[in-house]
Chain A
């Protein structure tokens, strides 16, 4: 419902109210324009899912780093420069051939900002928050993810300040790939757990689609 609303309603009324609030707060000296612009700049252009993908490919290719990441994800992420708000207590959960992890926040929109940036609209939508805990397999199907019947799903509801990042399974046939090539396989959605990492075939057909 909220999701549809995002895309179909003309924003005129709320846009005007937000403009009025901003000019009021500036007139009262309660916010600083340059600070507002910088906050937007950070979360629109600097912090994003490439950070998380970097952690994932390093974990895939470096056993020592993976161990550090699984033991203390906040420190491992900080060692690559990814630290700050909404990543203070980070935990990485690993997919295996038998177990698939899925992250949700049923009460609001908790999400590991330092490694994934701001959450997509669907993650904050009522249907996702409602159904991820009660019908996770149908949620995955809606994202085109068909897990084998014998793979069980572990759903993480982020009710505290712990933040969860999924370590997707490394696709078969990509062992020994460079970090740069591995990065192409790791999507934001695979680190939330609604999808799997891309296979080499999928990357190939995407390329052909573009050519």
Chain B
């Protein structure tokens, strides 16, 4: 969906105002530490995947998404996942107190488990079972994708023409993974000239972006 998160090329958002690198802390408030850890730890329960957790943050009202700080959006997403997966109830979230029995079928990661999960990561390379449709150098058109679901093709490249520059192999396809259907699709790095995206080429700059095969068609 083209929610508040789909920000490439949006205007009127003001300056970046970066904090100088030498003085910027990893977390600015203690609650940010806790949200970060709670999000990762509840993710380790295995009840949802990374695309589902991204989709949970994206489904907020765009005004809320933009108004929230980054970790407030993580908090919102994590609460939504916990509620939708019925690990907590609305009443419990409001009161902060548990009501009724807790399902014991979940394996709650210990400190040791967490270390192991984080250091082994979760590769998304996956066999597709078909040959890639596109070759390096092919000109491709990015299909329009107006969906209520989760996708990783940003609005600003849709309808534009680019060039295949790399084939990354098969990777888990987010658009189906979000519904629990984990399957691989060919992933490409696609190059766009500035003129194709923004209608100007003063700078001769270019964009490289990773796009899955179903987003593309041969031009």
Interface set of A (CB-CB < 8 Å, partner B): 1-7, 9, 11, 14-15, 17-25, 27-32, 34-40, 42-44, 48, 83-89, 106-109, 114, 117-118, 120-122, 124-131, 133-134, 136-137, 139, 142-143, 152-162, 187-189, 194
Bound-state Cα–Cα, A134 to B7, Å? 11
Can you sample 10 A-B contacts with CB below 8 Å?
A6-B69, A28-B88, A30-B45, A35-B37, A43-B26, A84-B121, A117-B26, A125-B70, A134-B8, A188-B21
Partner of B124 from A106, A159, A161 at Cβ < 8 Å: A161
Rounded to whole Å, the gap between the CB of A70 and the closest CB of chain B is 13
B203 — which chain A residues lie within 8 A by C-beta? 136-137, 152-153
B113 — which chain A residues lie within 8 A by C-beta? 35
Contact (Cβ within 8 A) A121 B24: yes
Bound-state Cα–Cα, A24 to B87, Å? 11
Contact (Cβ within 8 A) B209 A157: yes
Contact (Cβ within 8 A) A130 B72: no
Bound-state Cα–Cα, A179 to B30, Å? 35
B209 — which chain A residues lie within 8 A by C-beta? 156-157, 159
Bound-state Cα–Cα, A3 to B13, Å? 11
Bound-state Cα–Cα, A107 to B50, Å? 13
A194 — which chain B residues lie within 8 A by C-beta? 18
Bound-state Cα–Cα, A121 to B14, Å? 15
Bound-state Cα–Cα, A156 to B189, Å? 9
* Chain B residue total in the interface (Cβ 8 A): 93
B106 — which chain A residues lie within 8 A by C-beta? 30
Contact (Cβ within 8 A) A24 B97: yes
Q: Which of B145-159 contact A (CB under 8 A)?
A: 152-154, 156
B34 contacts partner chain A, Cβ-Cβ < 8 Å: yes
B216 contacts partner chain A, Cβ-Cβ < 8 Å: no
Decide: A89 near B125, CB < 8 A? Known: A2-B66, A84-B119, A130-B13.
yes
Contact (Cβ within 8 A) B37 A39: yes
Closest residue on chain A to residue B18 by CB atoms = A122
Binary contact readout B77-101 vs A (1 if CB under 8 angstroms, 0 otherwise): 0110010000110001101111000
B164 — which chain A residues lie within 8 A by C-beta? none
Interface set of B (CB-CB < 8 Å, partner A): 5-11, 13-19, 21, 24, 26-31, 33-38, 40-42, 44-45, 50, 54, 57, 66-70, 72, 75, 78-79, 82, 87-88, 92-93, 95-98, 102, 106, 108-111, 113-115, 117-125, 152-154, 156, 168, 171-172, 187, 189, 197-198, 203-212
Contact (Cβ within 8 A) A160 B171: yes
A1 — which chain B residues lie within 8 A by C-beta? 13-14, 66-67
Rounded to whole Å, the gap between the CB of A209 and the closest CB of chain B is 12
Closest residue on chain B to residue A154 by CB atoms = B206
B111 — which chain A residues lie within 8 A by C-beta? 32, 34-35, 37-38
Decide: A129 near B8, CB < 8 A? Known: A15-B29, A40-B33, A142-B18.
yes
Known contacts A31-B42, A122-B17; 15 additional CB pairs below 8 A are A14-B31, A19-B96, A21-B38, A32-B109, A32-B111, A32-B114, A35-B113, A83-B119, A85-B121, A85-B122, A88-B124, A89-B171, A106-B7, A107-B54, A155-B208
